[in-house]
Amino acid sequence: MKPVLNQIELSPKLQQTSTRTLHAERGMITQSWTPLGNGTSFNAPQITAIAARLGASPAQVILKWHQNLGLSVVARSSNANRLRENLAAPELTLTAEDMHQIAVLHDGTRCGPDPESFEIE
């Protein structure tokens, strides 16, 4: 039985394009783990400019970016206002230029352990 979903760390700074392509070729869903990258992209000029133009938060812009890429994304929060904000992200419309501006944020930065070198103790 082949997997239908693979959850990987994925954010504007760690876009995992080759892994997403591999998943798509194999008919698998990519689910974004740490989709907001612990907020590391919230202050990026591209994100703040898009958010200001749309009257949205940086988190909403990033969540919509994941959605536009066709990814399964689950953002968690214990803050009721942030939960409402996250749920409103699908209402946004990002342009192709917005998507390009976010794509250039990739620099390989991880928030979690690298699975290539992770060791269980």
Domain ranges for the chain, please list them. Answer: 5-103
Predicted TM-score (pTM) of the model is 0.89
In 3D space, the residue among 61, 68, 66, 70 whose CA is nearest the CA of residue 89 turns out to be 61
Q: Which pLDDT tens digits describe the chain residue by residue (121 residues)?
A: 888 999 999 999 999 999 999 999 999 999 999 999 988 999 999 999 999 999 999 999 999 999 999 999 988 888 999 999 999 999 999 999 999 999 999 998 887 656 666 667 6
For 50, the 3-state DSSP assignment is helix
Q: Which residues contact 63 (CB under 8 A, 6 or more apart)?
A: 35, 36, 73, 75, 86, 89, 90
